[in-house]
A = this chain, B = another copy of it.
Amino acid sequence: MNAPATFHGFNPTTNETLEPAFVCATPADLEQACAAAEAAFDLYRETSLDQRAAFLEAIAAQIMALGDTLIERAVAETGLPRGRIEGERGRTVGQLRLFASVVRDGYWLDARVDQAQPERKPMPRSDLRLRNIALGPVAVFGASNFPLAFSVAGGDTASALAAGCPVVVKAHSAHPGTSKLVADAISTAVAECGLPAGVFALLMGNERWLGGGLVADARIKAVGFTGSIGGGLALVKIAQARPEPIPVYAEMSSINPVILLPHALANRADQLGTAFVGSLTMGAGQFCTNPGLVLAQEGPGLEAFLKAASDALEAAPSSTMLTPGIATAYAEGVSHLAQHSAVQSVARGAVDPAPNRCQPALFVTDADSFLSDETLGHEVFGASSLVIRCKDLASIRALISKMQGQLTITLQMDDADTEDARFLLPTLERKAGRLLVNGWPTGVEVCHAMVHGGPFPATSDSRTTSVGTLAIRRFLRPVCYQDLPDALLPAALQSTNPLGVPRMVEGKIV
C-alpha cells in the first residue's frame, strides 16, 4: 500500500511551505462524507428551529474560541493583514449568528395555509398547506479570497446549514490549515449539539477529481461555489450531466462598472479619484466586487479624475496576493492591457521586490475600442481597472447594455445628475444584482436586503444571492401537503401554529 498523498499550506508573503502536511482525501473519504451526509439529512432537516439556530451559534462560538491560532494561520496562508482577517472573522461569526436569527424567525419556511372549503361549488376544495424543506446534502467550495467568510464556515455553509442541509466542504488548497481549524470547530459544535457527525464534513486535497467527484455524487443535491469562471462552469457542466441534474450557485466573474456622472465629476473629481483607488487597491484588489471598469464622459472632469487616481495609485502601498498563481494571473492580465494597442497605461503602483506582490494598475481606453475587443471586458483579478472615455450619456448606456452581467454597478452622482441617473437605471437593473449611488462596490454588507448575485456570468443563477439572508432560499424547495391530518403535518403547518411562525393564510401574511 502506498503512503497517502499529502500537501502543504504555503505562505505567499515569504514563499515558504507551511507545516504540517495535510493528507489528501481519497475516494473512500469522499464516499464516507456523502454517505454520512445522506444518513444525517432526514434528522438534521427536522431539527427544531431553536436547535438549529443554537447549532449555528455554537459554530460561531467555536470559531471565536480558536483565538489567535486561527488568525495567525490565516494571515500566514493568505498574505492578508491581521486586521483584515480579524474583520473577516467578525463577519463570519456575524453571519452565522444572523442565520441563527433567520432560522428562529421562520420566514424561510414560507408556510402557507389554504383551508378546506367543503361547501365550494362545483367542487369542494381540499385543505392545502405548503412549507419549504431542505434540498439535501450540499457541496460547498471554499473561495481563496475569503479564507473565513467564504470558505469552510462561510456564507454558503451558513445558509445551507440554516436551510437544514448537511454540508460537505471541498477545502480550497490555498488555505488548508485555516480550513482544518474551522472544520474542527464546526465538528466540535456538531458534537456539542448532539447532531449526527454527517451534518458536516471537510474534504482536503489538491487534485481535480475530488471537487468533480463531489458534485457528481448522487447524494449531493446542490452546490455553492465562489471562484473563477472556468472553475464555476466546469462544476455546472458536471452537475447538469448527472442523471439527476442539480443547481449550482457559482459566483464567478464581475468587473463592477463605476459610472461617473458629469456634475459629480465637475464638482469632486479629485475626491472621486482618491476614493476610487482606495476601493481598487483594498486587499490587493482581490474582491469579487473590485471596481475594474470606470465609465465617464470625456472632458476635463474625467482628466482631473485620472490625475487624482494616478497620484493615489502611485502612492498606494503594495500588498501580497493570495497565491503565486493569482499573482501570475494578475501580472498576465495587466500585461495584456499594457500591451494592447487601444489601451493606454495611466499609472502603476510602486514596484516591490517581495514575492507575490500586487503592483496596482490603471488603464484608459475609449468606448469603441472596448466594444470591439471582448477581452477588454474580462476580469483581471487584483488591483487593475480600465477607464473608458465615452462620448456622452447615451453611449455609456449603450455600452452597459452590451456588457455581460455584473455583481454591481455604481453611480457617482450629484443632485443635478438625477435625470441622467434615471435615464440609466433601467439598463443598470438588467445588468447587475446591486446598484450603488456614491459608494464603492467593495464591502458587501451581510443583511436582509443584500444581493450578491447578478446575471450570467456574474453568477450561474441570477435568481439568487450568495450573501445576505435571502441566500437561504437557494437550498430550499416547496412541498404541498393536501388534507394531511394535523398529527402528520409538520409543526409549522399544524392548525394551532405551535411554532408561531409567520404564515400566509388565504394569501395574507398573519
Is A477 a contact of B462 with CB atoms below 8 Å?
A: yes
- Tell me how far the C-beta of A337 lies from the nearest C-beta in chain B, rounded to whole angstroms: 23
Closest residue on chain B to residue A127 by CB atoms: B449
1/0 contact string of A290-326 vs chain B (CB within 8 Å) = 0000000000000000000000000000000000000
Is A453 a contact of B478 with CB atoms below 8 Å?
A: yes
Is A244 a contact of B456 with CB atoms below 8 Å?
A: yes
- Tell me how far the C-beta of A79 lies from the nearest C-beta in chain B, rounded to whole angstroms: 22
Total chain A interface residues with beta-carbon distance under 8 A? 79
Asked if A433 is at the interface (CB within 8 A of a chain B CB), the reply is: yes
Closest residue on chain B to residue A101 by CB atoms: B507
From 451 to 510 in chain A, residues with beta carbon under 8 angstroms from any chain B beta carbon are 451, 453, 455-457, 460-465, 469-470, 476-485, 487-488, 502, 504, 506-509
Asked if A380 is at the interface (CB within 8 A of a chain B CB), the reply is: no
Task: Give the chain B neighbours of A439 by CB distance below 8 A.
Answer: 126, 482-483
Task: Give the chain B neighbours of A460 by CB distance below 8 A.
Answer: 245
- Tell me how far the C-beta of A147 lies from the nearest C-beta in chain B, rounded to whole angstroms: 20
- The CA of A112 and the CA of B445, in the complex, are separated in Å by 14
Asked if A422 is at the interface (CB within 8 A of a chain B CB), the reply is: yes
| Given contact pairs A422-B488, A445-B125, A462-B135, A451 touches B478 in the complex (Cβ within 8 A) | yes
- Tell me how far the C-beta of A481 lies from the nearest C-beta in chain B, rounded to whole angstroms: 5
Interface-centre pick from A130, A435, A460 (highest chain B CB count, 10 A): A130
- Tell me how far the C-beta of A17 lies from the nearest C-beta in chain B, rounded to whole angstroms: 34
- The CA of A449 and the CA of B101, in the complex, are separated in Å by 25
| Given contact pairs A112-B448, A421-B488, A484-B437, A478 touches B465 in the complex (Cβ within 8 A) | yes
Asked if A434 is at the interface (CB within 8 A of a chain B CB), the reply is: yes
The one of B87, B128, B429, B480 in contact with A133, judged by C-beta atoms closer than 8 angstroms, is: B429
1/0 contact string of A226-257 vs chain B (CB within 8 Å) = 00000000000000100011010000000000
Task: Give the chain B neighbours of A509 by CB distance below 8 A.
Answer: 107, 502, 509
Is A436 a contact of B114 with CB atoms below 8 Å?
A: no
Asked if A438 is at the interface (CB within 8 A of a chain B CB), the reply is: yes
- The CA of A46 and the CA of B426, in the complex, are separated in Å by 9
Asked if A352 is at the interface (CB within 8 A of a chain B CB), the reply is: no
| Given contact pairs A107-B509, A449-B128, A433 touches B479 in the complex (Cβ within 8 A) | yes
Copies in the complex: 2
The one of B240, B422, B433, B448 in contact with A507, judged by C-beta atoms closer than 8 angstroms, is: B448
| Given contact pairs A426-B42, A448-B112, A105 touches B507 in the complex (Cβ within 8 A) | yes
From 163 to 186 in chain A, residues with beta carbon under 8 angstroms from any chain B beta carbon are none
Task: Give the chain B neighbours of A429 by CB distance below 8 A.
Answer: 133, 479
Is B418 a contact of A488 with CB atoms below 8 Å?
A: yes
1/0 contact string of A101-130 vs chain B (CB within 8 Å) = 110010100101110000000110110111
Task: Give the chain B neighbours of A504 by CB distance below 8 A.
Answer: 107, 448-449
Is A485 a contact of B418 with CB atoms below 8 Å?
A: yes
Is B426 a contact of A480 with CB atoms below 8 Å?
A: no
Closest residue on chain B to residue A441 by CB atoms: B482
Is A430 a contact of B136 with CB atoms below 8 Å?
A: yes
| Given contact pairs A244-B455, A455-B244, A436 touches B483 in the complex (Cβ within 8 A) | yes
Task: Give the chain B neighbours of A416 by CB distance below 8 A.
Answer: none
Is B123 a contact of A443 with CB atoms below 8 Å?
A: yes
- Tell me how far the C-beta of A2 lies from the nearest C-beta in chain B, rounded to whole angstroms: 36
The one of B114, B126, B128, B247 in contact with A463, judged by C-beta atoms closer than 8 angstroms, is: B247
From 138 to 197 in chain A, residues with beta carbon under 8 angstroms from any chain B beta carbon are none
| Given contact pairs A456-B245, A470-B130, A482 touches B240 in the complex (Cβ within 8 A) | no
Other 6 A-B pairs with CB < 8 A, given A102-B507, A425-B488: A113-B449, A130-B449, A244-B456, A247-B461, A435-B481, A449-B480
Q: List 6 A-B contacts (CB under 8 A).
A: A105-B507, A114-B448, A133-B429, A429-B479, A463-B478, A502-B509
